[in-house]
Amino acid sequence: MFSFHGSNPFRSGHARPWILPLSSPAVLVERAPAKINLTLHVLGRSDDGWHQLESLVAFSCGGDQLSLTPGEPLGLTLEGPTAPLAGDNDQNLVLKAARNLGQQIENLKFGAFHLVKRLPVAAGIGGGSSDAAAALRLLARTNGIPLDDPRLMAAARATGADVPVCLERRARMMRGVGEQLGEPLPLPPLVGLIVNPGQALETKAVFSRMNLTPGSQTHYGPHPAFSPNLDSSGFLALLRKGRNDMEDAASVLAPVIGDVLAILSAARGCQLARMSGSGATCFALFSDCRAAAKAKKVILQAHPNWWVKSCAFR
């Protein structure tokens, strides 16, 4: 089922999407937050064509919501402001993840999924991957499978490169094509905004624009080394030494990214502005909640059709 109001899925003020009642003991619910690449270094491209990455990943507080009614036939319904942009239900990563887990675990108990889609699509914040990871967590709960069961990770890897890091929803380093995960990294308090200008951008197109040949290395420079005991100033100092190597190519394909970054960088209290993933979503870190709230208000006044969310990262 779709619930879509108006012509613009990012515009604020839409009616609140219908949420499955949480009082029913049969319904299990998981949050699927946005995945934010605080850094994204492209190390090169392996001989098999895969791009090798090194990225510090964090997660927002808000995002999509996925629920599961166990015992029902496997299926998926969608609603929410960005549901019409999510594509064919049968190709959704939620169902792909469920089927992949079913190939790993004999007699897996499935159910009916319901996705409230709030995150923008093809936006560089791993919305579909986070939804898929939420599906795996829900099926793990239904079947009494611990989250460290290697079959869950195998299903996550088979579903998509960003799904493994989304399973636990904690900040950490991600390397390779997403299969190498570092230990969870406690972050200092980070206040920010996430901004999407409403332009979808496919990761494949951005990599194609970068034009790296198989077997090549970029030699752009090393990734900063983060430790668990950094305070906010130390963390930000290291974060500024990082970068997003996909930003230039993405900005050629979607010049509005440059506008978003310029507006965020010019906002009072902004400490860092950067693109996430392959874009077009950008994020900014602010000195405090008041500065972030002021920037959000100003941005929405000037660009009411943009998707702008306040967030804390973890």
Residues recognised as catalytic: 35, 162
Please tell me whether 120 is known to bind a ligand. Answer: yes
| CA–CA–CA angle 24, 30, 35 (5° rounding) | 160
DSSP class of 83: G
Does 222 appear as a known binding residue? no
Residue 87 in marked binding region: no
Q: What gap in Å lies between CA 131 and CA 92, rounded to an integer?
A: 9
Give dist(CA 306, CA 299) in Å, integer.
8
Nearest to 251 by CA among 219, 210, 214, 291: 210
Are 107 and 79 a contacting pair, CB within 8 Å? no
Q: Which residues pair with 181 in a beta bridge?
A: 174
57, 102, 255 from 92: Cα distances, Å = 23, 16, 29
Phi, psi of 158 (to 5 degrees): -70, -20
Tell whether 126 is in a known binding site.
yes
Q: Are 288 and 232 in contact (CB under 8 A)?
A: no
Which residue carries 């693109």 as its tokens? 275
122 annotated ligand-binding residue: yes
- Bridge partner list, 191: 286, 312
140 is in an annotated binding site: no
Q: Is 124 annotated as a binding residue?
A: yes
| Residue 239 vs residues 91, 139, 302: alpha-carbon distances, Å | 36, 36, 29
**Residue 210, burial from CB neighbour count under 10 angstroms (0-12, 13-18, 19+):** middle
Strands 41-45 and 51-70: antiparallel
Count of CB atoms within 10 A of residue 269's CB?
A: 17
- Give the annotated binding-site residues for ATP: 120-130
